[in-house]
Amino acid sequence: MGKVTGFLEYERIEEGYEPVPARLKNYKEFVIGLNADQAKVQGARCMDCGTPFCNNGCPVNNIIPDFNDLVYRNDWRNASTVLHSTNNFPEFTGRICPAPCEAACTLNVNDDPVGIKSIEHAIADRAWLEGWLTPQLPKAKTGKKVAVVGSGPAGMAAAQQLARAGHDVTVFEKNDRIGGLLRYGIPDFKMEKSHIDRRVEQMKAEGVTFRTGVLVGHLPEGSKVTNHAKEIISPDELKKQFDAVLLAGGAEQSRDLPVPGRDLDGVHFAMEFLPQQNKVNAGDKLKGQLRADGKHVIVIGGGDTGSDCVGTSNRHGAASVTQFELMPMPPEQENKELTWPYWPYKLRTSSSHEEGCQREFAIATKEFIGEKGKVKALKTVRVEWKDGKMVEVPGSEQVLPADLVLLAMGFVSPVASILDAFGVDKDARGNAKASTDFTGGYRTGVDKVFAAGDMRRGQSLVVWAIREGRQAARAIDEYLMGSSELPR
Ligand SMILES: Cc1cc2nc3c(=O)[nH]c(=O)nc-3n(C[C@H](O)[C@H](O)[C@H](O)COP(=O)(O)OP(=O)(O)OC[C@H]3O[C@@H](n4cnc5c(N)ncnc54)[C@H](O)[C@@H]3O)c2cc1C
Ligand code: SF4
């Protein structure tokens, strides 16, 4: 373990942030990671609990007490080896994971968990800086060909694992760049895209082929899902050319708000707004970028996507930014006895909220009001929850000015037409139906077709996508070779 009395001697250290006025001037990352001495102190706080709840709370089961101890002992290289044994991309999760591990940490009973995510961040960045993360070539090639549809964290993790097992892997991506929502959903200020590019280079050197701008199957007419495809391949063609196919296309169907005025100009899905800024940051020239400059922006939806719209709108220079949430305001402090070591229900204030945002809870939108076809205001009503049912509060209607409305109410499911084109059954929520059983897991009902990530589990987190990608890779390796040495 770290230092036997470390948890009594040292305080938790939070990562620093650049001041708000400075970070609002650009889209760069603004988190100041721990230096080596600070990370060592964090590592020293780990109690190496007999039952490490953190390890179980982490969806990829990172071996947290071990890397905490190695950092405390200044053995960064082995800390990186331990971290990479369970997580292909810790520099992603070290930046954007909500850290369920820290919620599960025994010290969180006292509200000061070990800064696990900040240690992970420090190890991953150091490993790149030191040049430890070189391509890992397979011992032998198998001659088997695997197609991965979708290049988000699930597709990337699966492709890397499968290439390292010796298979010829081709990743098909309909967008013009690799990364899925890491690339076109999550803003640069949370994770700069050079981290994805560096991994793509590593994976190319490991033998992965990336084909961007290629849509597998088809999207419905008028679909607003991000799509830069210049080429289409049919599922049948793919199945003919490859020995196995992994569907890792995410859950891209945004939840809509079909109230009067929905068709007005200025009412958009968050995933129409965020990808455009990510493209501009990448140096693309866009005609008529959707922008928030000088506008009264209302973001509907209180989650991560909404918060990213808030941060982006403030960087555009919005006149005001308001975020709506249908549910009542959660308590500031969770009830530890009821929730620990699970993910607690409590108020979460993101760095984007701190940059300036009016947050409204228990509010519903009844209508978008327009003038000459453009949105000008929203008609709202306050709501209460009684016996699990939402009821409107009589007389609480309000009209609020809005020139830009961003719908960030989550994602319903994968795009149905993609699953239908493969003939893959859906579960009750419209996701690809495939179990996660130890044997035969991640297999859909269609021969040689597997599914993982948001496409299988519904909208989730990067760390869950990495887990599913890794586990699906093992399932595919077993299917192709009869057995697998890939970790599960
Ligand atoms: C705005 C936003 C912010 C988020 N912030 C966070 C966060 O801070 N932390 C966190 O942990 N999670 C966050 N998430 C969730 C996280 O990004 C997702 O859970 C994760 O990316 C899912 O990974 P995936 O690989 O399953 O799918 P995705 O990342 O959605 O990738 C799927 C890819 O498949 C491609 N594709 C789909 N269909 C086809 C096809 N037919 N042919 C070819 N290509 C296809 C898509 O273009 C896409 O690139 C956020 C999500 C959003 C939208
Ligand atoms: S991936 Fe997420 S849950 Fe796992 S150790 Fe890192 S921050 Fe914690």
Residues 290, 271: contact at Cβ < 8 Å? Answer: no
Which residue, judged by its Cα, is nearest atom 6 of ligand 2?
A: 117
Q: How confident is the model at residue 150 (pLDDT cuts 50, 70, 90)?
A: very high
**Of 84-88, 267-271, 384-388, 464-468, where does mean pLDDT reach its minimum?**
384-388
**In the prediction, which pLDDT does 3 show?**
85
The response to whether residue 308 sits with its C-beta less than 6 Å from ligand 1 reads: yes
Amino acid occupying residue 397: E
Which residue, judged by its Cα, is nearest atom 48 of ligand 1?
A: 180
Q: Could you read off the pLDDT of 198-226 as tens digits, one per residue?
A: 999 999 999 999 999 999 999 999 999 99
**In the prediction, which pLDDT does 2 show?**
74
The response to whether residue 196 sits with its C-beta less than 6 Å from ligand 1 reads: no
Q: Could you read off the pLDDT of 105-144 as tens digits, one per residue?
A: 999 999 999 999 999 999 999 999 999 999 999 999 999 9
Angle at which helix 116-129 crosses helix 36-44, to 10 degrees, equals: 140
Closest ligand relative to 151 C-alpha: 1
**Residue 413 β-bridge partners:** 253
Q: Is pLDDT at 18 greater than 80 in this prediction? A: yes
Run of H or E including 31: strand 31-32
**How much distance in Å is there from the Cα of 101 to the middle of ligand 2?**
6
Three-state secondary structure of 332-364: CCCCHHHHCCCCCCCCCCCHHHHCCCEEEECEE
Residues 404, 427: contact at Cβ < 8 Å? Answer: no
Atom of ligand 2 nearest to the CA of 60: 4
Percent pLDDT > 90 in the chain is 97
- Using most ligand atoms within 8 A of CB, pick from 58, 304, 323 the residue to mutate for ligand 1: 304
C-alpha distances in Å from residue 339, one per residue of 18, 103, 104, 346, 352: 32, 9, 9, 10, 26
Q: How confident is the model at residue 438 (pLDDT cuts 50, 70, 90)?
A: confident
Question: What average pLDDT does the structure give for the chain?
Answer: 97
Percent pLDDT > 70 in the chain is 100
DSSP state of 173: E
Which residue, judged by its Cα, is nearest atom 2 of ligand 2?
A: 99
DSSP3 helix / strand / coil % (the chain, rounded to 5): 35, 20, 45
Residues 297, 321: contact at Cβ < 8 Å? Answer: yes
**In the prediction, which pLDDT does 106 show?**
97
Work out the average pLDDT over 229-258. Answer: 98
Closest ligand relative to 452 C-alpha: 1
Closest ligand relative to 89 C-alpha: 2
Q: Could you read off the pLDDT of 35-81 as tens digits, one per residue?
A: 999 999 999 999 999 999 999 999 999 999 999 999 999 999 999 99
- Using most ligand atoms within 8 A of CB, pick from 149, 170, 178, 186 the residue to mutate for ligand 1: 186
The response to whether residue 97 sits with its C-beta less than 6 Å from ligand 2 reads: yes
The response to whether residue 462 sits with its C-beta less than 6 Å from ligand 1 reads: yes
Closest ligand relative to 154 C-alpha: 1
Q: How confident is the model at residue 388 (pLDDT cuts 50, 70, 90)?
A: confident
Report residue 103 CA to chain centroid gap. 18
**In the prediction, which pLDDT does 437 show?**
86
**How much distance in Å is there from the Cα of 80 to the middle of ligand 2?**
14
The response to whether residue 99 sits with its C-beta less than 6 Å from ligand 2 reads: yes
**In the prediction, which pLDDT does 439 show?**
76
Q: How confident is the model at residue 22 (pLDDT cuts 50, 70, 90)?
A: very high
Q: Could you read off the pLDDT of 474-484 as tens digits, one per residue?
A: 999 999 999 99
The response to whether residue 248 sits with its C-beta less than 6 Å from ligand 1 reads: yes
Q: Is pLDDT at 263 greater than 90 in this prediction? A: yes
Q: Is pLDDT at 488 greater than 80 in this prediction? A: no
